[in-house]
A and B are shown apart, each in its own frame.
Chain A
Amino acid sequence: MKFLTFSEDNQLLAQMITFLRSRGEVDAATSSDRDMPIEYGAGVVYALRGNAQYDSISAALKNLFESSGYDAVVIASTVLGREVAGHLSVGIGSDVAPELSSLEFKDGKAITKRWGYGGKTVIEETWNARVFTLLPGITDAEKNGSESTLKDIQLGDSRVEIISEEPKNLGGGNLESAKIIVSVGRGLGKKEGIEVAQKLADAVGGEIAGSRPVCLDYQWLSEDRQVGLSGKKVKPKVYIALGISGQIQHIAGMRGSKIVIAINKDKSAPIFEESDYGIVGDLYQVAPKLTEKLAA
Chain B
Amino acid sequence: MVDIIVLVKQMHDLEQIKPDPSTGEPMLEKSPFKMETISENAVEAAVQLKEKYGGKVTALLFGNSDAGQIMKKAYAMGCDDGYVITEYTGNNHFYTSQVLAEKIKTIKHDLILLGNQSADSVTGMLAGRLSAILGEPVLGNAVSIEIEGEDAKIKRVLEKNNYYVKTHLPAIISVTQEINEPRLPPVMRIMQAGRKPINSEKTTVQEIKNFTVVSNKAPISERKKLIFEDVDKGIEEVVKVIKEEMR
The interface of chain A, by Cβ under 8 A from chain B, is 9, 53-55, 58, 77-80, 82-91, 95-99, 111, 115-118, 120-129, 133, 159-168, 170, 179-180, 204-205, 212, 216-217, 223-224, 229-230, 237-238, 240, 247-249, 255, 258-261, 267, 270, 272-281, 285-286, 289-290, 293-294
B14, A118: Cβ atoms under 8 Å?
A: yes
Of B25, B224, B242, the contact of A238 (CB 8 Å cutoff): B242
Enumerate B67-105 residues with CB–CB distance to A below 8 Å.
93-94, 97
B122 to A, closest residue via Cβ: A99
Give 30 CB contacts A-B under 8 Å: A79-B158, A85-B125, A86-B125, A89-B94, A90-B97, A90-B132, A95-B94, A96-B94, A117-B120, A121-B19, A122-B216, A123-B213, A125-B213, A126-B214, A127-B210, A133-B124, A159-B167, A161-B166, A166-B161, A166-B164, A204-B242, A212-B177, A270-B15, A274-B223, A275-B224, A276-B225, A277-B224, A278-B227, A279-B228, A279-B235
B231, A273: Cβ atoms under 8 Å?
A: no
A251 to B, closest residue via Cβ: B221
B125, A276: Cβ atoms under 8 Å?
A: no
How many Å lie between the Cα of A118 and that of B153 in the bound state?
30
How many Å lie between the Cα of A133 and that of B125 in the bound state?
10
Chain B residues touching A, range: 35 or more
Q: Given the known inter-chain contacts A163-B165, A259-B241, A279-B234, please indicate yes or no for A78 contacting B158, CB distance below 8 A.
A: yes
Residues on A with C-beta less than 8 A from B159 are 9, 78-79, 223-224
Of B124, B128, B164, B178, the contact of A164 (CB 8 Å cutoff): B164
A273, B218: Cβ atoms under 8 Å?
A: no
- A211: min CB distance to chain B, Å: 12
- B31: min CB distance to chain A, Å: 9
Q: Given the known inter-chain contacts A180-B245, A277-B238, A279-B234, please indicate yes or no for A95 contacting B211, CB distance below 8 A.
A: yes
How many Å lie between the Cα of A166 and that of B231 in the bound state?
45
Residues on B with C-beta less than 8 A from A278 are 225-228, 234
The answer to whether B58 has its CB under 8 Å from any CB of chain A is no
- B194: min CB distance to chain A, Å: 29
The answer to whether B188 has its CB under 8 Å from any CB of chain A is no
A294, B239: Cβ atoms under 8 Å?
A: yes
| Interface bits B96-139 vs A (CB < 8 Å: 1, else 0) | 01000000000000000000110111111111111111000111
Of A53, A121, A279, the contact of B238 (CB 8 Å cutoff): A279
Residues on B with C-beta less than 8 A from A255 are 219
Most chain A C-beta atoms within 10 Å of own C-beta, residue among B24, B157, B210, B218: B210
Of B137, B158, B177, B228, the contact of A277 (CB 8 Å cutoff): B228
Overall SS of chain B's interface? mixed
Residues on A with C-beta less than 8 A from B122 are 98-99, 115, 118, 229-230
How many Å lie between the Cα of A174 and that of B162 in the bound state?
21
| Interface bits B206-218 vs A (CB < 8 Å: 1, else 0) | 0000111111111
For the complex of A and B, the 3 pairs showing the least CB-CB separation, nearest first, are A86-B128, A90-B132, A279-B234
The answer to whether B195 has its CB under 8 Å from any CB of chain A is no
B128, A273: Cβ atoms under 8 Å?
A: no
Of A82, A86, A99, A116, the contact of B216 (CB 8 Å cutoff): A116
The answer to whether B55 has its CB under 8 Å from any CB of chain A is no
B141 to A, closest residue via Cβ: A79
Residues on A with C-beta less than 8 A from B167 are 159-161
A83, B128: Cβ atoms under 8 Å?
A: yes
The interface of chain B, by Cβ under 8 A from chain A, is 12, 14-15, 17, 19, 24-26, 93-94, 97, 116-117, 119-133, 137-141, 153, 156-168, 176-178, 210-219, 221, 223-229, 231, 234-235, 237-239, 241-243, 245-246
B135 to A, closest residue via Cβ: A159
Q: Given the known inter-chain contacts A118-B14, A123-B213, please indicate yes or no for A86 contacting B164, CB distance below 8 A.
A: no
Q: Given the known inter-chain contacts A162-B164, A277-B224, please indicate yes or no for A116 contacting B121, CB distance below 8 A.
A: yes
A120, B161: Cβ atoms under 8 Å?
A: no
Q: Given the known inter-chain contacts A95-B211, A128-B210, A159-B137, please indicate yes or no for A89 contacting B129, CB distance below 8 A.
A: yes
B93, A98: Cβ atoms under 8 Å?
A: yes
- B139: min CB distance to chain A, Å: 7
Most chain B C-beta atoms within 10 Å of own C-beta, residue among A86, A159, A255: A86
